[in-house]
Every structure is written in C-alpha cells, then in structure tokens.
Amino acid sequence: SYVLTQPPSVSTAPGETATLTCAGNNLRYESVHWYQQKPGRAPLLVISYDSGRPSGIPERFSGSSSGNTATLTISSVEAGDEADYYCQVWNQSTDHWVFGGGTKVTVL
C-alpha cells in the first residue's frame, strides 16, 4: 500500500513561518492536497493540486511539491492556525485515496 509520511508535530511562534512536509514514493507524479482539521470539526481543504488555494483560504497558506516531498507553508502564523494538517493523494497504482498521518501545529 502507498504511504504518505508527515512529521507528528510542528511548533511555531506567532508571526513566524510553519513548514509542514509530506513524503511519499514517486510523489512527483501525484497531485497533493492539504486539509486543516481543528478539534471537533470536519476537515477543511486548504491547498489543492500541490499549490492551489481554494476560495476563502488566506494567502498565508501556500503549497509546493518537488521530488518525493510536498510542502505546506503557513506564513505569519496566527493562534487560529493551531490544528492538525493532513496531506492526501489519489494513488494511481492502487486506485486508492491515501492520507498522511497528520501533523499537529502548535502556536507557541
């Protein structure tokens, strides 16, 4: 089965930049999507197709992908950005939709 690997946690001070990574075999051939999930809430799509930003998502959220790693960058981090963040792909080899294990972002 296809695996996406994310660091369990990232801590950032308010106003600084949080960098979240998502690693997977041959990830360059997949489109990566990112979701934000706050406690007790449904996930929210924040980045689509590696670097697209859905309507209503602040410009502080940006995405990129290179080689076997995709990156979600949150600039000028705010207290309200504290959440779990998940990367996700559709894996063409298995016809399965796959989520990473998630990264908990803590704002110090």
Partner 1 sequence: EVQLVESGGGLVQPGGSLRLSCAASGFTFSNSYWMSWVRQAPGKGLEWVANMKQDASEKYYVDSVKGRFTITTDNAKNLVYLQMNSLRAEDTAVYYCARGSPPPGGLFDYWGQGALVTVSS
Backbone angles phi, psi at 73, to 5 degrees: -115, 130
Q: Which of 7, 12, 43, 82 binds partner 1 (CB under 8 A)?
A: 43
Question: Is residue 101 at the binding interface for partner 1, with CB under 8 A as the rule?
Answer: yes
Contacts of 80 (CB under 8 A, 6+ apart): none
Question: Is residue 5 at the binding interface for partner 1, with CB under 8 A as the rule?
Answer: no
68 and 27 in contact (C-beta within 8 Å)? yes
Task: Find the radius of gyration of the CA atoms of the chain.
Answer: 13
Question: Is residue 1 at the binding interface for partner 1, with CB under 8 A as the rule?
Answer: yes
The count of other CB atoms within 10 Å of the CB of residue 94 is: 10
Q: Which of 37, 51, 69, 73 binds partner 1 (CB under 8 A)?
A: 37
Give min distance, CB of 13 to partner 1, in A: 26
Question: Is residue 9 at the binding interface for partner 1, with CB under 8 A as the rule?
Answer: no
C-alpha separations of 7 from 19, 22, 57, 87, 107 in Å = 10, 8, 23, 11, 16
Q: Which of 44, 53, 57, 68 binds partner 1 (CB under 8 A)?
A: 44
**Residue ranges that bind partner 1, judged by CB under 8 A:** 1, 30-31, 33, 35, 37, 42-45, 48-49, 54, 84, 86, 88-90, 92, 95-102
